[in-house]
Amino acid sequence: MPKLYLPNNHCVGRDTLLALRSRHVLATSSRQYAQGRYEIGYGSRNGVGPGLSISPCQAEDLLRNDVQYVEAFIRMAVARRISDRAYQALVSFIFDVGPKSDPARERLSRLHEGGEDAFFDGLAGGAEWSRFGEHIGRSARFFEVNQAG
């Protein structure tokens, strides 16, 4: 049985940030998407409007801030123990869909009612999300152990 953690004991490591970066195209100037929303960097939306420009370093800072916001949201929203793989996948999923979105609410409800299997069940690419969480969780733990030594 995998070791279980409370959400506030997890850490999003360098590999998770790399994975998020790899799935989002860096935009150093704001771009408008459907519903009139603007994004910049690796998908940051907060306070973004037309005509903004940032450097790649600023985009990295925005990404880290966005991930910290998602982690804080998860700490408040998840009231059960979850494995590291589920936590990593949940951070990535919530980052992609947004914490206030219907898909996020639906997946969190599944997690609370049926556990991790219910969270991954029926998720488009559920097996891929699960494997992503396992890989990122292993890599993050390896990085943390090697940094501590």
pLDDT per position as a tens digit, 3-44: 444 445 566 767 778 888 888 889 999 999 877 889 999 988
Instruction: Pull the structure tokens for residue 21.
Output: 């970066």
C-alpha torsion 97→101→105→106, nearest 10: -70
Q: What is the pLDDT of residue 11?
A: 65
- How many residues make up the chain in this entry? 149
Q: Which two structure tokens, joined as six digits, stand for 22?
A: 């790899």
Q: Point out the residues of the chain with pLDDT beneath 50.
A: 1-7, 126-127, 132-149
User: Could you tell me the CA-to-CA distances from 16 to 54, 71, 96, 122 in Å, in that order?
Assistant: 22, 12, 13, 23
Q: Tell me what pLDDT residue 125 has.
A: 53
pLDDT, position 86: 82
Could you tell me the pTM of the whole model? 0.71
